Structure 1
Amino acid sequence: MNVNVLLVRFFFALLLTYPMISVAQKRETIEETLVNNKIDSLLNRAVIAVSESDYTQAIDILNYSRDLATDIGHTKRVGLTSGTLAKLYFELNDYESAKRENKKALKAQKEANSPDLLGQSYITATELSLVDGDQREANNNITKGLSILEDSSRDDLKSQLYNLRGTILQSSSNHIDAIQAYDQSITLASQANNAYLKTQSLANKSVSLATVGRLEEADETLLEIEGFANGKDLPNITNTLYKTKHLIAQARGNYKEANDYLTMYYASKDDTDLRAPSQVLPNGPNEELDAMVTQLEKDVLIEKDRNSKAMRLTLVLSIALCSILALLTLSLYKNNNLRAKANELLQAKNVELVIARDNAEKASTVKAQFLSTITHELRTPMYAVTGLTHLLLSENPTDEQKKHLDSLKFSGEYLLSLINNILDLNKLEANKVEVEETSFNLKKRIEDVLFALGKSARDKGNKLHLEIDEDIPLEVLGDPLMISQILINLVGNAIKFTRDGDVWIRVQKIAQGEADIRLHFEIEDNGEGISKKKQKTIFQNFTQGSVAINRKFGGTGLGLSIVKNLLDLLNSKISLDSTLGKGTTFKFDLKYNLMQALPGEDNPHNIIYDIDYVALENRHILVVEDNKINQMITRKILEKNKMTCDTADNGEIAVEKARTKKYDLILMDIHMPGISGMEATEQIREFNKEIPILALTAVTIDENIDDFYAVGFNDIIPKPYKVEEFFQKIHNGLRNSKVLN
């Protein structure tokens, strides 16, 4: 039978049966509507009970409503009633019941895809986490809530979440970020026309403003708060006002006034803390109670409106479906030939797409192979540079020689980092580069950058100036190579575009807590400057100010792109101010953790590398390396630390020596003539399961690290390496294999 005839009969059959389906759906909808109407009526009674402070009755009504909604499988109303119960239990200080109900609410709201109700439940979850003192979980709940509400018009809910974020930051003494969070909360509360939420955030903001010394702003904020709070029973806001006034008076030296406000603060706080649970939501007019009742009424109305819209939409869609089916039935035969032609065209396009996909996959494979090869070829000579530098530094050079060797070591580390970032630019832009955290001397690191760039500055007739805040701690915790690369690119850029001028590097402390410090960096020059038009694209890959600038000054245009990507990884943004002919200033902020030194500890660096060098003495090591220079460097580094070495030029020799001689540990290169280091290790493991074998390789192994462990390697040392890291890996390998106690 003709396919078109079959399709026509199908659509006619569907049209004939659709009225019966619609009747059945309508009957089911009527039954559900009766229960839904009852639930809505109960929710309205719960609103009245809360407004009359009859919390026991409100809880009973909400529990009954939730059970009804559960029976008919109406997850939206289950989420609404459980969420309201959780909030009510929280306000009554019954935190365990609040957690139980909020968990039910979150589950139901996720199933029903109710973003506004989910946002409210994440607010309750955040408040419960803060009661438990779990700030990490509270922050997670805030992030989830803001993500869920991203496309929502409920600015009042977003305002509450930002206010809670500010409270967490404030409790951690991070007042600058706290002020920003409160500002976002105030803006959203204003957009929602919610004066209470706005005043609450203003009060919390005033504490942070006073704490950081922005007293005039704090005064202005107090005036705005008092205009709203005057004559109202708002104990929490009143407490906050007393605290702010105490901080302002103390900062201005009015100690008697500060003491009076502090006394009032504690008296008011004690009075609030002593209130019974029923007093948390007091009888009579109260802004906080009104806010909760209004919220509940709004949720009920929203749910009713959504249900009504859903019913209307179902009716409209039913009518539209009938019309569409009729039109499809009439036009199906005429369009069949057009469809056949379209299918032929699509098949041809699909063949083209498959070919294009295959070509793209081949290109990606070639690119990966090229990067793997070029990584080995670049890192192998870098191993010789860094290794020989270390050996020369250990041979008692003169002070002048040591200065130059330190500069060479620094430049080698920077060059290695630059090679890695250029080769892995896609990885960098995808935020897959890991940020290390180690202790380093920030001022020394900056001075090393300036020393490395000193000659190029002098060649251009430029002077370098370092202005660093003396209050910045000597040691910080962070990624030293990243800040070096950022500064080398920015300072080098300033030197390149300045002649017979000055380049300033400024580092100022913004804020400091017990565990971290925020710093502001500026790199300023009085050189060529950048036009407004070019400032918009200056941070893109391979971009310079103009073709003329490229010809005049050279360069790849990659430096500022790398700086931007690195700062993105460090959760920072770079900005610039520039005027043609007058110069340019680049600015960015960074946060570093602070060293937590133990009592009596003189050298915190020893925490990083816990190596017993005495235990390593006289240990017999087999070095498997086909490159004679690298073989010699590795042997000398080991022998300098009183270890004995044997060498093998390829995998076959290594397997034979491991079979016939006794070694404490094997350092195995991967790419060698004959059998590879992977194959050699597999063969050694056939007759010796215990000896520790470390892969000493210049290959990028991020993508296939499991393969190394699968063939029998104990650990991996990527070349070139830091000497301390080298010995740490050897020490761990010997200890884990019980060669060392």
Structure 2
Amino acid sequence: MYRFLFFVFFFNSVFLSAQSQKETSQRNISENLALEDEVDSLRKLLEKEFYEKNYDKAIEYGERGLEIAENINYYKKYVSTASFLGSAYLNVEDTMMARITFTKSIDVANKLGDSKSKIISQIDGANFYALQDNVKSKRKAIELYKSSIPLAESTNDLNSLLILHLNITELLIDLQEIKTANQYANETKKYITDSTFIGFIGSSELNAAKLHYYNKNYLKAIKNIDKSEDIFKELKYTEGLIDVYNYRSLIYKNLNNYNAAYSTMVTLDSLKEAQYKNDKINAIETVTAKFKLADINEKFEQQQEVSKIREQEAKREITLLWIKIAAGILLLFSIFILYSYLKRKKLVIDLTEKNKQYLKAKEDSERLSKAKSILFSNITHELRTPMYGIIGISNMLLNEKEYQHSNIKSLKFSAEYLLTLINNILLFNRFDSGTSPLMIQSKKSNLDIRELVQNAINLSKYLSEKQPNNYSIHVDNSIPKIIVGNRIEISQILINLLANSSKFTNNGEISITINSSRIDDATLDLHFSIADNGVGISEDKQKVIFDEYSQIGEGEEFMGTGLGLPIVKKLLSGLGKGLILESTEGKGTTVSFSMYFSIPEKDNKIINQDYASIKPFEGKKILIVDDNKINLLVSSKFIENYGGATTTVDNGIDAIELEKEDKFDLILMDINMPMMNGFETASKIRKNNLLVPIIALTAVERGSVTGQESFSLMNDIIIKPFDHNKVIPLLLKYLE
């Protein structure tokens, strides 16, 4: 009986124990489910507060959510929670916590083995490095983006593949690795579908425009820029539009379309101003979030301190003393925090004011720079037009008034020297605005280096007529009479260097020496040396002599633009060459440089044609259209001197009527005219006559004319003033 009672007791004990364990397990499961629900709720609150830019609350919810998730091993929402939390830390500029959060997220994703989580965490980590403004971090970001591509490909995640390729392309462009960026940009197109978010398409078009710009395909770049601009306008994405208008202005500058560039810069400035206001608000919100976050941490620390004090109070009565000590420390800490807060607040206000001043100064500087570029472009036409008249009339008088030959020759030199000065200013402006000068881009041709040197001397020697210098030329006999090189480029360098020597030498000696060393059968390396015994340059002035607008002294003998030597330096540096200057004050100066030239084939000879004797335009009728009376006189005299018959008219309307009434073999058309410009006039003429050659005769820069769509109405272009020996073959090409 006792045994029976024992077994009944034992059975009841075991049953009750098992039931208790089952209830405990069920309670644990229920608690875990509740905690998982809490993690999910905190994740939603985190996302909501993040998008409302309440980063302090977002960080509080995110940290609590991750802590609970780690305690119960609930990692379903860990990576997405860490993504928002790390981004919130970045927005309050706590890069250390952002990095820790993203790194831990990558570790969790790797443990989970979920491809989607791995991609998200690695993109977050890569974004962190991409935002750092240094090359090392950007390359780290590219590595992380690349490592995510196989994962995205394995899951056929087209959206992630598109984002990864877009980001890699943009970083490679920032690092100026254009060739590799082209490859990733081409890959990007494969992942764009009908359901792709248009913002990504806008970014893809912008990347394509940047790459076309760096590859100098400016017209293609414009097409991509237009598409990107339309998308970003639709999304009201100001930051993207700023990037669009910045590259649009650069493209127009390279197309020499300065009006469009200026209009784009005006729009860009207004967008930057709007973005600045928005950034200012965000900065204030960030500072506020930082202080709120500090306040939350402070309260958390206070709660922990109070909890400890209460525990100690339950154990010992002496804790009262510790409470007083803690309260004193807390008071001092609060005072310190308050002082720091007020000091930081004042710093933020000061920085905001400084930023305003900086932006104002930057805007003023950019405005002045744009105004200078526009001024240089505008005055080019205004200066060249009268120069065309001066040089043209000089040529006429030289042919007709032999007894005034010396004076007229001086007049012609003065005009040509003034034209050289104008070209220097224009060339310097191209350098200064970042545009590749046409001189470096011009084609190579056959030239006689001895003749070029003599021409440069003839242009320079009049600078010291009161006390004329003696010039000597020493050219290595091994240098062939005809070599191949850039005539305009070497002439520009020699004229500037010889003019500089002539200006600072009176009744002295100036020598030009050219030595040669053969590189191979087809290439010569010519070493040029120009030496004078003039005033020389002091050591301190030698340091600044190549700076723009610099002068080595004051007074009439030192007058000039100060652009000669800087232009020579920039021309040579553009060719990978240097200029060596040696000078002693009171004893003279020597400048030297080297350039490569080619040796022409044996049957490649320069033929100097005497056009005046054969009258190449005889029997040809040419219509000249120009609103400037002097230009009409010069142009018609030029044609008539070589046997042609001319009809002149000073406006486009009369030109159209004359072309209908009479048959002309060729039309020389000015571009800038009142009432109807040259393009409009050509368009009207083309409606009646598609065959007559129309050649633009203008003082406007070549790029400004040929870059316009209406230039297709013209057969060719001549820039005033021009060289007769170069223009005659051009006209004969169309007359024949």
Taking structure 1 as the reference length, the TM-score comes to: 0.51
The answer on 1:425 being equivalent to 2:428 is yes
Structure 1: how far apart are the matches of 2:659 and 2:357?
55
Does the 8 A contact of 1:431 with 1:569 survive in 2? Answer: no
CA distance in 2, matches of 1:571, 1:650: 47
- How far, CA to CA, are the matches of 1:445 and 1:615 in structure 2? 27
In structure 2, what is the equivalent of residue 315 of structure 1? Answer: none
Alignment counterpart, residue 508 of structure 2, candidates 489, 501, 512: 501
In structure 2, relative to structure 1, the CA distance for the partners of 1:360 and 1:518 (3 Å cut) is: same
**Of 563, 569, 572, the match for 2:577:** 572
- One-letter amino acid of the structure 1 residue matched with residue 297 of structure 2: L
**C-alpha distance in 2 between matches for 1:512 and 1:72:** 49
Q: How many residue pairs align between the two structures? A: 445
Task: Kindly state the Cα deviation for residue 328 of structure 1 after the two structures are TM-superposed.
Answer: 11
Structure 1, unaligned runs of 5 or more: 30-68, 75-106, 119-325, 735-739
Amino acid in the other structure paired with 1:581: G
Question: C-alpha displacement at 1:419, in angstroms?
Answer: 0.8
Residue 698 of structure 1 corresponds to 699
Post-superposition offset of 1:708: 5.7
Q: CA deviation at 1:623?
A: 0.7
Instruction: Provide Cα deviations, 1:458-512, integer angstroms capped at 9, x if missing partner.
Output: 6336432222212211122223343333333323333333344322221111325
One-letter code of the match for 1:13?
Answer: G
Counterpart among 587, 591, 594 of residue 589 in structure 1: 594
- The secondary structure found in structure 2 opposite 1:584 is strand
Query: Partner amino acid for 1:653?
Result: D
User: Which residue, 531, 534, 541 being the options, matches 1:527?
Assistant: 534
Contact 1:682 1:711 in 2 (8 A): no
Counterpart secondary structure, 1:372: helix
Contact 1:486-1:563 within 8 A present in 2 as well: yes
Look up the equivalent residue of 1:495 and give its one-letter code: S
- State how 1:8-19 maps to structure 2 within 5 Å: 8-14=60-66, 16=69, 17=78
SS of residue paired to 1:702: helix
Q: CA RMSD in A?
A: 4.6
- TM-score computed with the length of structure 2 as normaliser: 0.51
CA contact (8 A) 2:679 2:711 kept: no
> Conserved in 2, the CA contact under 8 Å of 1:511 and 1:518?
yes
- Taking a change above 3 Å as real, the CA distance of residues 331 and 425 of structure 1, as seen in their structure-2 partners, is farther
Measured in 2, the distance between the counterparts of 1:406 and 1:572 equals 35
Whole-angstrom distance in 2 between the partners of 1:332 and 1:722: 85
Contact 2:461 2:502 (C-alpha < 8 Å) held by counterparts = no
> Is contact 1:457–1:463 with CA below 8 Å preserved after alignment?
no
Task: Determine if the alignment matches structure 1 residue 516 to structure 2 residue 601.
Answer: no
The higher radius of gyration belongs to 2
1:466 aligns with 2:473: yes
Give the distance between the partners of 2:479 and 2:414, measured in 1 at CA: 25
Paired residue type of 2:661: T
1:365-394 Cα distance to aligned partner (Å, 9 max, x none): 543443333212211122123323444565
Alignment of 1:119-138 (within 5 A): none
Could you tell me which amino acid in structure 2 is paired with residue 385 of structure 1? I
What residue in structure 1 maps to residue 384 of structure 2?
379
The one of 433, 436, 445 aligned to 1:438: 445
Deviation at 1:588, TM superposition (A): 1.0
Task: Find the counterpart in structure 1 of residue 496 from structure 2.
Answer: 489
Q: Percent identity?
A: 34
Deviations along 1:588-627, one digit per CA (max 9) or x if unpaired, are: 11212222232xx664568xx999x888542322111122
Amino acid at match of 1:416: L
Could you list the per-position Cα deviations for residues 682-733 of structure 1 after superposition, in whole angstroms to 9, with x for gaps in the alignment? Answer: 3333444443322111112424523263572232211111223323443444
Contact persistence 2:461–2:469 (CA under 8 A): no
Q: SS of 2:623's equivalent?
A: strand
Answer yes or no: is the 8 Å Cα contact 2:653–2:676 preserved in 1: yes
1:489-544 alpha-carbon deviations (Å, 9 max, x no partner)? 32333333334432222111132533221111112222333222222221111223
Q: How does 1:136-175 map to 2 (within 5 A)?
A: none
The AA in structure 2 aligned to 1:446 is: V
CA pair 531-721 structure 1, distance change in 2 beyond 3 A: same
Q: Please name the residue that 1:716 is paired with.
A: 717
Give the corresponding residue for 1:658.
659
Q: Deviations over 1:120-154 (max 9, x none)?
A: xxxxxxxxxxxxxxxxxxxxxxxxxxxxxxxxxxx
What amino acid does structure 2 have at the position aligned with 1:502? E
- State the shift of 1:669 in Å: 0.9
Contact kept in structure 2, 1:414 and 1:485, CA below 8 Å? no
Question: What is the CA-CA distance between 1:433 and the residue it aligns to?
Answer: 1.3
Deviation of 1:566 (Å)? 2.5
Q: Alpha-carbon deviations, 1:291-346, whole Å to 9, x = none?
A: xxxxxxxxxxxxxxxxxxxxxxxxxxxxxxxxxxx999737999999999998888
**Corresponding letter in the other structure for 1:705:** T
Q: Deviations for 1:62-91, whole angstroms, at most 9, x for unmatched residues? A: xxxxxxx999959xxxxxxxxxxxxxxxxx
| Structure 1 residues 631 and 502, CA gap change in structure 2 (3 angstroms) | same
Aligned to 1:181: none
Residue 692 to residue 534, structure 1, CA distance change in 2 (3 Å): same
Helix, strand or coil at the partner of 2:517: strand
Matches within 5 A, 1:304-703: 330=297, 362-364=367-369, 366-392=371-397, 401=405, 412-429=415-432, 430=434, 432-434=436-438, 435=440, 436=442, 437-457=444-464, 459-460=466-467, 462-511=469-518, 513-546=520-553, 553-598=558-603, 603=606, 617-703=618-704
The amino acid of 1:439's aligned partner reads N
Residue pair 1:11, 1:329 contacting (<8 A) in 2 also: no
CA distance in structure 2 between the partners assigned to 1:704 and 1:350 by the alignment: 41
- Contact 2:424–2:563 under 8 Å retained in 1: no
**3-state SS of the aligned residue for 1:675?**
coil
Aligned equivalents of 1:605 and 1:569: distance in 2?
Answer: 32
Q: Which amino acid aligns with 2:429?
A: N
Q: Counterpart of 1:522 in 2: which secondary structure?
A: strand
CA distance in 1, matches of 2:575, 2:392: 30
- Segment of structure 1 superposing worse, 584-593 or 387-396: 387-396
Deviations 1:169-192 (A, max 9, x none): xxxxxxxxxxxxxxxxxxxxxxxx
Code of the aligned partner of 2:645? T
Give the 3-state SS of the residue equivalent to 2:425 in structure 1: helix
Higher deviation after alignment, 382-391 or 358-367: 358-367
Q: CA deviation at 1:583?
A: 2.3
Counterparts of residues 61-76 of structure 1 (less than 5 Å): none
Measure, in 1, the Cα distance between the counterparts of 2:341 and 2:348: 10
Counterparts of 1:687 and 1:339 in 2: how far apart (Å)? 76
In the alignment, what sits opposite 2:304? Answer: none
Q: How does 1:86-235 map to 2 (within 5 A)?
A: none
SS at match of 2:518: strand
Alpha-carbon distance in structure 2 between the residues aligned to 1:722 and 1:621: 19
Identify if the C-alpha distance between structure 1 residues 397 and 515 changes in structure 2 by more than 3 Å, giving closer, same or farther. farther
Distance apart, 1:14 and its partner CA: 4.1
Decide whether the 8 Å contact of 2:616 with 2:643 is kept in 1. Answer: no
Which one of 47, 57, 75 corresponds to residue 5 of structure 1? Answer: 57
- Are the equivalent residues in 2 in contact too, given 1:418–1:485 (CA < 8 A)? no
Q: Distance in 2 between matches of 1:71 and 1:563?
A: 51
Gaps of 5+ in 2: 1-44, 70-77, 83-103, 115-145, 152-168, 181-292, 301-336
In structure 2, what is the Cα distance between the partners aligned to 1:500 and 1:387? 32
Corresponding residue number in structure 1 for 2:37: none
1:616-668 deviation per Cα after TM superposition (whole angstroms, max 9, x unaligned): 54232211112222112211222233322211111221122223333232211
CA distance in 2, matches of 1:380, 1:425: 20
1:216-256: CA deviation from partner (whole Å, max 9, x where unpaired): xxxxxxxxxxxxxxxxxxxxxxxxxxxxxxxxxxxxxxxxx
Between the aligned partners of 2:674 and 2:601, the Cα distance in structure 1 is: 49
